[in-house]
Structure 1
Amino acid sequence: MTTEPTPAPLPASSPAAPAAPVQAPSPVAPALPAAPSPAATLPDGAGPPPARLAYDAYTWREIAFLLSNLPVTVIGFTYAAVVLPTGAGLTVTAIGLPLLALALMGARLLGRLERGRARGLLGLRIDEPSPLSSHNRSGNFFVRLWTALKDPVGWRSMLYHLIRLPWGVLTFTVTLTGLFVLWPVLPHVVRAMTTVDRAMVRGLLSPSPDLERRIAELESDRGVVIDTAAADLRRIERDLHDGAQARLVNLAMGLGLAKEKLLEDPEAAAAMVDEAHGEVKLALRELRDLARGIHPAVLTDRGLDAALSSVASRCTVPVRVSVELETRPAEAVEGIAYFTVSELLQNVSKHSGARTVSVDVWRAGDRLMLQVHDDGRGGARLDAGSGLAGLAERLGAVDGVFVVDSPEGGPTTVTAELPWRDRPVTLTKEG
């Protein structure tokens, strides 16, 4: 077995050595940024990705939105142009207003579908307005009818579909023609037109944030008021049943026994009558306390100054009361202020360990201000379920403010604000 000899390599300086070709580095094409994947919705404050000459998925979604503008706007314009004049023309009859209310509810539904189309194809994040039923839960037909007739969401949706027809025709025509004529620059044209669509949807189909927040607050406040009223009714019923009612039952039984013994044992009957007299006094005292808890007579007759002074006199801690009001507020506001201070003074008596308390009431513009200050141990909190939390909820239900400043070790200052409403003038007829 023979092997072929391997030729020896030539020295580099040898003229026969061929020069090794220098390989130029192959140019590396710069990586193009990947097209952003279209999301279902864009976050708040974020716009669509910048338009490019290339046709990415987002551009095709915008094209689909513009091409669907024509059928959608034709349907919306036809609906609005038919039902709105018909309902308005029939308002002289019994069916006109209900028909107009149904038309606005239908416009609400069309607006919801349009928001869904903008959300799905343009990635436009639009919150849904609160349902019309949440604005009013009354079972009264006329109240529900009036709520539907003054629905701003329905009216804005109706206006949206009335003004969209020319724009829908224009965007459909330009987009369809551009697919064959304006192909190189069509993405930029599409972006410009969908920007106008976004502005229309935001301007006419978006719910008002302030209005929606206010509706939610009123819904919550109404629930607080209803719960508070129900709790007060249960407390009154319990106090009547366990207190005055029970004493009156015992009084009736005692007087019945005294009547039977009146002839047989006059002395025993007299003792029973004397005992019944004591029960009557206790029952009257409990009824007066109960009436004071509902609405004290001194508050009705003499106002906050006298009523709060009366409450302060029953507090276990010395209280200084200062009421600086030139006029009296409305009865409802006055009552809330009275019971707020009354409950705060009860908390001071039970929990604060204070030596002195001050109560100040004054008016600042259109607000009634209350402040209760004590030099107790502090540590009061607005924790859920506490008495202070209940007061805060009650004041919040009438657009009031409740602030507690109570560091550990004291002192504690509770400040409350209530909207001022003037007491209506009562005209009396003499003679």
Structure 2
Amino acid sequence: MAIYDGRTSAPRSHRVPAVLRAPLEGRTWREFLYLLLSLPISIVAFVFAVTMVSLGAGLLITFLGVPVLAAGLAGARGLGVLERARARALLRVKVAEPEPVRPRKGTRGPLAWTGALLKSGTSWRHLLYMALHLPWAIFAFVVSLVMWSVGWALLLYPAYAWMYPTYWGQDGMQLYGDNDGTTVYLDNPFEIGVTAGAGLLVVLATPWVIRGLAGVERLAVTGLLGPSRLATRVWELEEDRGVVVDTAAADLRRIERDLHDGAQARLVALAMDLGLAKEKLEEDPEAAARMVDEAHGEVKLALQELRDLARGIHPAILTDRGLSPALSALAARCTVPVAVDVDLPARPAPAIEGIAYFTVSELLQNVSKHSAARTARVEVWRSGTRLMLQVSDDGKGGASTATGSGLAGLAERLGSVDGLLVVDSPVGGPTTVTAELPWRG
């Protein structure tokens, strides 16, 4: 899940328009090199794929065909490593490593790995890439190389036009010729200038054609050589499950600590005081009465701590009346005046409602402790299938989701339920934190 801190750098301005600087940019040369290298690599890959599949299919009548096919799939995965590295270096596209080949639990050895390779959809996608990439690589190679060479040859024609009459015995570059002896040469200043102008147009158009061809290469590498969407989603769910488990364990430790250090300690002291009061009841009734009165005060404090602890687990007002009254109660306890605006047509799922409540609670605590704000505002609304929360203040700003901050932990909690946290907090303020949660009503 991506987390944004709202402080992206402004795009760098250029005095030279993009269309003029594109032919000389490093990106253009890298992508051009990628397209040139694709042809020899794709030829080798295509030959390997066709050979291994044909040989394996032909040998399926015997047992040898199965390991041959598995070897072809393993080789395809090896090529995938090369292609992902090439895409990272030249196309600047980061493709995640696909899920590894895993034999079924409890099995091991060559047969287990062979079966896992044959059942791996990722391996077959790699083989499909090797088979389909050659026609496209030929097309991209021809188009990019022809446009590049023709464009620069025409643009630089004024610099080498003198070589035609000097060394090759003709007036200039031949534009037309037939069997009757009719020939047209580009040999006068006007024709040379028009030729250079046409070359300039081709040179300026070539980088954008190359970028389009490279864009198709990016899609192919990402779609066929990267992890499948299902595998990516499973990985995300596993990661989110880990966050949820860690969060639940941290909450249990917090509750245990609060009970041990707070209400439990008070109740132990209260029991001891009442025991002493019972012993003094006959000897010194006045002292016993004072001790009972002090114990009564301790009972009130213990009850208040238990109420606060219960509110921290799940407030009753949220369960009974929903987000609007619960957030209003939160705002009333904030040290900064807070305006609350909740516009919801219905109540979301209880779990989402609880996460929304505690998200606002933590953000308002940050406002109270760190923002030095004079006012704050909480807004809640529904947008399609998402519950939107926004907490803003006019404080000093500088909030960040950097690792180790409270906002980073909050972003992880939201991410565990497919939520999102966006922080816009320039130094000097104001700060706006927007949270997005699934509705799931």
Residues 361-380 of structure 1 aligned to structure 2 (within 5 Å): 361-380=380-399
Q: 1:113 to 1:207 in 2, by over 3 A?
A: farther
Return 5+ residue gaps in structure 2 as ranges: 1-32, 85-95, 107-115, 126-130, 132-220
1:216 to partner: Cα distance:
2.8
Tell me what 1:230 maps to: 249
- TM-score with structure 1 length normalisation? 0.59
Q: Which of 99, 104, 107 is the matching residue for 1:130?
A: 99
Residues 271-290 of structure 1 aligned to structure 2 (within 5 Å): 271-290=290-309
1:212 to partner: Cα distance:
3.2
Task: Determine the C-alpha separation between the residues in 1 that align with 2:223 and 2:56.
Answer: 16
The residue type paired with residue 118 of structure 1 is A
SS in 2 for 1:404: strand
The residue type paired with residue 371 of structure 1 is Q
SS in 1 for 2:396: coil
Task: Determine the C-alpha separation between the residues in 2 that align with 1:412 and 1:242.
Answer: 35
Q: Given that residues 341 and 378 in structure 2 are in contact (C-alpha distance below 8 angstroms), is that contact kept between their aligned partners in structure 1?
A: yes
Q: Given that residues 340 and 377 in structure 2 are in contact (C-alpha distance below 8 angstroms), is that contact kept between their aligned partners in structure 1?
A: yes
Q: 1:112 to 1:402 in 2, by over 3 A?
A: farther
Q: Is 1:116 aligned to 2:74, yes or no?
A: yes
Tell me what 2:57 maps to: 73
Q: 1:123 to 1:213 in 2, by over 3 A?
A: closer
Q: Given that residues 117 and 123 in structure 2 are in contact (C-alpha distance below 8 angstroms), is that contact kept between their aligned partners in structure 1?
A: no
Tell me what 2:29 maps to: none
- TM-score with structure 2 length normalisation? 0.58
1:121 to partner: Cα distance:
8.1
Task: Determine the C-alpha separation between the residues in 2 that align with 1:416 and 1:122.
Answer: 38
Task: Determine the C-alpha separation between the residues in 2 that align with 1:111 and 1:290.
Answer: 62
Q: 1:117 to 1:418 in 2, by over 3 A?
A: same
SS in 2 for 1:49: helix
Q: Is 1:154 aligned to 2:119, yes or no?
A: yes
Q: 1:121 to 1:312 in 2, by over 3 A?
A: closer
Return 5+ residue gaps in structure 1 as ranges: 1-41, 52-57, 82-106, 142-150, 161-166, 168-201, 423-431
CA deviations 1:162-216 (Å, max 9, x no partner) are xxxxx9xxxxxxxxxxxxxxxxxxxxxxxxxxxxxxxxxx999956443333233
Q: Is 1:417 aligned to 2:441, yes or no?
A: no
Tell me what 1:47 maps to: 38
Task: Determine the C-alpha separation between the residues in 1 that align with 2:316 and 2:270.
Answer: 27
The residue type paired with residue 305 of structure 1 is S
1:44 to partner: Cα distance:
10
Q: Given that residues 98 and 122 in structure 2 are in contact (C-alpha distance below 8 angstroms), is that contact kept between their aligned partners in structure 1?
A: no
Tell me what 2:354 maps to: 335
1:261 to partner: Cα distance:
1.3
Residues 202-217 of structure 1 aligned to structure 2 (within 5 Å): 208-217=227-236
The residue type paired with residue 74 of structure 2 is G
The residue type paired with residue 154 of structure 1 is K
Q: Which has the higher contact order (CA 8 A, sep 6+)?
A: 2
Task: Determine the C-alpha separation between the residues in 1 that align with 2:230 and 2:415.
Answer: 17
Q: Is 1:241 aligned to 2:206, yes or no?
A: no
SS in 2 for 1:371: strand
CA deviations 1:364-389 (Å, max 9, x no partner) are 11010101111111111111111111
Q: 1:119 to 1:306 in 2, by over 3 A?
A: closer
CA deviations 1:18-38 (Å, max 9, x no partner) are xxxxxxxxxxxxxxxxxxxxx
Tell me what 1:21 maps to: none
SS in 2 for 1:47: helix
Q: Which of 308, 322, 327 is the matching residue for 1:303?
A: 322
1:259 to partner: Cα distance:
1.2
CA deviations 1:208-243 (Å, max 9, x no partner) are 443333233223222221211111111101000000
Q: Is 1:324 aligned to 2:343, yes or no?
A: yes
Task: Determine the C-alpha separation between the residues in 2 that align with 1:327 and 1:70.
Answer: 61
Tell me what 2:142 maps to: none
SS in 2 for 1:415: strand
Tell me what 2:11 maps to: none
Q: Given that residues 110 and 157 in structure 1 are in contact (C-alpha distance below 8 angstroms), is that contact kept between their aligned partners in structure 2?
A: no
SS in 2 for 1:292: helix
Q: Given that residues 76 and 110 in structure 1 are in contact (C-alpha distance below 8 angstroms), is that contact kept between their aligned partners in structure 2?
A: no
Q: 1:250 to 1:203 in 2, by over 3 A?
A: closer
Q: 1:45 to 1:347 in 2, by over 3 A?
A: farther
Q: 1:207 to 1:384 in 2, by over 3 A?
A: closer
Q: Is 1:270 aligned to 2:293, yes or no?
A: no
Task: Determine the C-alpha separation between the residues in 2 that align with 1:301 and 1:133.
Answer: 49
Q: Given that residues 312 and 321 in structure 1 are in contact (C-alpha distance below 8 angstroms), is that contact kept between their aligned partners in structure 2?
A: yes
CA deviations 1:4-29 (Å, max 9, x no partner) are xxxxxxxxxxxxxxxxxxxxxxxxxx
Q: 1:250 to 1:356 in 2, by over 3 A?
A: same
SS in 1 for 2:280: helix
SS in 1 for 2:391: strand
Tell me what 1:353 maps to: 372
More deviation, 115-124/268-277: 115-124
Q: Given that residues 98 and 228 in structure 2 are in contact (C-alpha distance below 8 angstroms), is that contact kept between their aligned partners in structure 1?
A: no
| Greater Cα radius of gyration, structure 1 or 2 | 1
Residues 72-91 of structure 1 aligned to structure 2 (within 5 Å): 72-73=56-57
CA deviations 1:268-320 (Å, max 9, x no partner) are 11111111111111100000000000000000000000000000000001010
Tell me what 1:312 maps to: 331
Q: Given that residues 295 and 335 in structure 1 are in contact (C-alpha distance below 8 angstroms), is that contact kept between their aligned partners in structure 2?
A: yes
Q: Given that residues 317 and 355 in structure 1 are in contact (C-alpha distance below 8 angstroms), is that contact kept between their aligned partners in structure 2?
A: yes
Q: Given that residues 406 and 413 in structure 1 are in contact (C-alpha distance below 8 angstroms), is that contact kept between their aligned partners in structure 2?
A: yes
RMSD, aligned α-carbons? 4.1
Q: 1:78 to 1:341 in 2, by over 3 A?
A: farther
Tell me what 2:158 maps to: none
The residue type paired with residue 73 of structure 2 is R
Task: Determine the C-alpha separation between the residues in 2 that align with 1:293 and 1:299.
Answer: 11
Q: Given that residues 64 and 121 in structure 1 are in contact (C-alpha distance below 8 angstroms), is that contact kept between their aligned partners in structure 2?
A: no
Q: Given that residues 80 and 225 in structure 2 are in contact (C-alpha distance below 8 angstroms), is that contact kept between their aligned partners in structure 1?
A: no
